[in-house]
């Protein structure tokens, strides 16, 4: 999420600017790190802090958070880790784009995958709160994935579930009890929605941050 203008970002998300808290642009958001999610509150949207990696309310610790950063759309209504959240705690995770990698492990090439026209991507997500200490609740989330579309199939066999504005509203509507209808929202995104280009190898370390991560070094002969 690289937007510098908080006011513009809040307007795009449909939330009060105050709910973005200490927001700063991020260029390398990694699993188990803090971020924020969008959910519904009454008839409005709200943005709340949450950590990437779902931890169930009944969990004794966060040791499985890194294994619950994604949930498969095909089984989200069946697995104990996600089933209740799918029915009752659906959210949207907004981003400017995401990274994927290709090539051998010894020389992984990061790719920057982002929407045409500068829009936000709205990923389908689930959220849960758990107690890290008695009385101290922490919000966590996971991002749903589905089979890759034809654009991304040569890179990976999965991709995040990307919703349009209407789909995002339906997904966050917790009064929607038709789970089959909700699952119909979880298909691959249209091929013409996204663009793919190389990113800097700096992306390969979560310690690196900043706009340089999005530089396509091939344009400079490197």
Q: What is the CATH number of the domain that holds 118?
A: 3.90.1680.10
Q: Is residue 43 part of a domain?
A: yes
Q: Which domain holds residue 40?
A: 6-220
Q: Give the whole-angstrom CA distance, residue 53 versus residue 143.
A: 9
pLDDT class of 149 with cuts at 50, 70, 90? very high
Q: Is residue 1 part of a domain?
A: no
pLDDT class of 221 with cuts at 50, 70, 90? very low
Q: Give the whole-angstrom CA distance, residue 85 versus residue 68.
A: 13
Q: Is residue 22 part of a domain?
A: yes
Q: Is residue 17 part of a domain?
A: yes
- What integer pLDDT is reported at residue 2 of this predicted model? 94
Compute CA 129 distance to the chain's CA centroid, rounded to the nearest angstrom.
17
pLDDT class of 133 with cuts at 50, 70, 90? confident
Considering only 134-138, 157-161, 201-205, which range has the smallest mean pLDDT?
134-138
pLDDT at 129 over 80: yes
pTM flag (> 0.85) = yes
Please, are residues 149 and 188 in contact by the beta-carbon 8 Å criterion? yes
- In this predicted model, what pLDDT tens digit does every residue of 160-177 receive, in sequence order? 999 999 999 999 998 888
Write the DSSP assignment of 50-67 as a string of letters. EEES---TT-SSSTTGGG
Give the total number of structural domains in the chain. 1
């Amino acid at each position: 999420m690289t937007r510098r203008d908080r006011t513009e970002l809040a307007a795009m998300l449909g939330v009060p600017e105050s709910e973005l808290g200490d927001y700063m642009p991020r260029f390398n958001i990694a699993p188990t790190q803090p971020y924020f999610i969008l959910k519904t509150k009454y008839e409005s949207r709200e943005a709340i802090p949450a950590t990437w990696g779902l931890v169930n309310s009944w969990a004794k610790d966060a040791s499985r958070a890194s294994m619950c950063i994604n949930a498969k759309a095909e089984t989200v209504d069946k697995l104990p880790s996600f089933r209740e959240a799918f029915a009752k705690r659906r959210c949207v995770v907004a981003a400017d784009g995401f990274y994927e990698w290709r090539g051998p492990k010894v020389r992984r090439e990061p790719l920057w995958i982002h929407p045409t026209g500068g829009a936000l991507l709205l990923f389908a997500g689930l959220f849960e709160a758990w107690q890290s200490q008695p009385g101290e609740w922490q919000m966590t989330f996971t991002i749903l994935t589905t089979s890759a579309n034809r654009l991304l199939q040569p890179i990976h066999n999965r991709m995040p579930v990307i919703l349009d504005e209407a789909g995002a509203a339906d997904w966050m509507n917790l009064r929607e009890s038709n789970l089959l209808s909700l699952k119909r929202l979880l298909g691959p995104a249209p091929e013409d929605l996204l663009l793919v280009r190389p990113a800097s190898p700096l992306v390969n370390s979560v310690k690196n941050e900043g706009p340089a991560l999005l530089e396509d070094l091939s344009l400079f002969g490197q």
